[in-house]
Each structure stands twice: as structure tokens, then as C-alpha cells.
Amino acid sequence: MGSTPNIRLKGMSQLRYNFLWDPEIRHFAYEPKNQKEVDDIFRTQGRIYKTMYFSVYMDEPKPEPKVKVSAGAKARPTVKPKKKSNSQPVAEADISE
């Protein structure tokens, strides 16, 4: 077998990015380490490499793990009840016939 196919790109900031073949999504992929790399990669598209364009692949959101509360912990409401305002009371309409 051969080696894993990859594409080495040089960004506008002269940093090199190694896009590896991802068989799951069937595209070349690179996982940036920070926002600076993302900005550099997208600034590069259409300038240095005239025929290469990048897209974003986002995984499905993973469900957050449920937090278990111990039996001894008190259940506290997260929202405090609102206090009544000091507004004038409104008189009810007198309905008499």
C-alpha cells in the first residue's frame, strides 16, 4: 500500500498546513489549532492557490453528559422570583346593571 494522500498548503502568513485525506468525509481535512490559523487559511483561498477553495465541515453536535445530583443536595431554583413593583394598583371595572 502507498502512503496517506495529503496536500501541503502554504498560507498567507507563510505557515504550512498539512491537509490529510479523511476517508469518513471523503475530503482532505485540516483541524486548525486556533482562530489565527482559520483566518490565514481562508485568506489564502483564491489568492495564492487560484483554483483551490475551502469549505467547513462541522460534526453533528454531541449530546452533553447528564450531571448526577447527589441525594443530599438541596434543589435550588436557578431563577429568582421577581419582586412586585411599586406601581399603583389598578381599580377593577364595576359591572352593575
C-alpha cell at 27: 475530503
pLDDT of residue 48: 74
pLDDT of residue 56: 74
pLDDT, tens only, 16-67: 988 888 888 888 888 888 888 888 888 888 777 777 777 777 767 777 777 7
Higher pLDDT, 60 or 8: 8
pLDDT category of residue 12 using cuts at 50, 70 and 90: confident
pLDDT(73) > 60: no
Residue 59 to residue 71: CA distance in whole angstroms? 36
